[in-house]
């Protein structure tokens, strides 16, 4: 099997990124929540105000997965961090080192950029991912719950 190659996504990769996001959403049983378009992704990843970065993983010529992440900030550490929004490996490439290679690259970026932490969320039913994260030394953050405002609730709070 060929070695995993990781490369930084370019504007030409937007259709592939959107396709991988849709595959991830299907796996997570959340396809109904995907409203991203090539245009919105392009603006967010490559527009004037770039808010996230994407790495693509390849095995040979085949796109095998991706990681999408952005910087956050820890007031307690007084340093930036990296939040991994999505990590996805296509089913036919799982157990080939793709996920680990993506995480190694992101951990390296966090170190290079002086980040104090790398964090992400995982669905509580996703046992394969949870087992993988434990094997690489990650641990759940106990005592914290994620809250979210979207749609009508966000609009209402913002005062429309």
Catalytic residues: 133
Closest by CA position to 38, among listed 60, 12, 56, 57: 12
Assign residue 20 a region (left: φ > 0; alpha: ψ between -120 and 50; beta: otherwise): alpha
The CA distance from 29 to 35, in Å, is 14
Q: How many residues does the chain have?
A: 160
Q: What b-and-e string marks burial along 115-135, b requiring 16 or more CB atoms within 10 Å of the CB? A: beebebebeeeeeebeebbee
Q: Is 50 exposed, middle or buried (0-12, 13-18, 19+ CB in 10 A)?
A: exposed
């Amino acid at each position: 099997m060929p070695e995993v190659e990781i490369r930084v996504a370019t504007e030409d990769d937007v259709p592939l990124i959107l396709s991988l996001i849709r595959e991830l959403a299907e796996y997570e049983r959340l396809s109904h929540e995907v409203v991203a378009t090539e245009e919105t992704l392009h603006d967010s990843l490559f527009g004037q105000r770039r808010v996230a970065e994407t790495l693509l993983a390849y095995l040979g010529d085949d796109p095998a997965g991706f990681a999408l992440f952005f910087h956050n900030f820890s007031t307690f550490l007084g340093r930036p961090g990296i939040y991994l929004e999505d990590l996805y490996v296509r089913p036919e490439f799982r157990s080939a080192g793709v996920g680990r290679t993506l995480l190694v690259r992101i951990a390296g970026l966090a170190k290079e950029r002086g980040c104090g932490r790398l964090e992400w969320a995982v669905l509580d039913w996703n046992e394969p991912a949870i087992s993988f994260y434990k094997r690489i030394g990650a641990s759940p953050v106990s005592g914290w719950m994620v809250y979210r405002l979207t749609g009508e609730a966000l609009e209402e709070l913002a005062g429309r």
